[in-house]
Amino acid sequence: MPTSQDDTTDILYNGDCPVCSIEIRHYANLAERRNLPLKFDDLNSDDLAQWGIDADSAVRRLHVRHQGKVLSGIPAFLVLWAQMPRYRWVARIVGLPGLRQLASGLYDYLLAPMLYRWHRLRQK
């Protein structure tokens, strides 16, 4: 069934990050096999102006545009996972009160900064 542009969830990711690329490639393969309305944009080849995000902010976190709204971090993952049948249960669990805050804290203060520092080191 064809989808309209409004039905499509756009995912902005850092294709230069080995960890990010592996994870997104996994999601993209699942989305393609199931014909899910997901579009994956590599921030290194995409026009960031259409996202309203500068390059440094874009590499710091995963961003998702869903129903015209741009989300980042765990809220972005929750939207992405909720669009994928095999990951809906993950979205429901991680989205629970308490777990959502814990996951956000881990992502915001540990995982995302660690990946960002690694990205900066690879650029040098």
| CATH number of the domain within which 80 lies | 3.40.30
Q: Taking the CA of residue 116 as centre, how many other CA atoms within 13 Å lie in the half-sphere pointing to its CB?
A: 16
Place of tokens 């921030």: 43
pTM assigned to the model: 0.90
The pLDDT tens digits along the chain (124 residues) read 344 456 899 999 999 888 999 999 999 999 999 999 999 999 988 788 889 999 899 999 999 999 999 999 999 999 999 999 999 999 999 999 999 999 999 999 999 999 999 988 888 8
* Cα distance between residue 64 and residue 68, in whole Å: 10
Using alpha carbons, select from 64, 65, 3, 80 the residue that is nearest to residue 35: 3
Tally of structural domains, the chain: 1
CA 87 vs CA 1, 11, 31, 118: distances in Å: 21, 15, 11, 27
Q: 92-106, pLDDT tens digit by residue? A: 999 999 999 999 999
Domain that holds residue 28: 5-123
56, 4 in Cβ contact below 8 A? no
The size of the chain, in residues, is 124
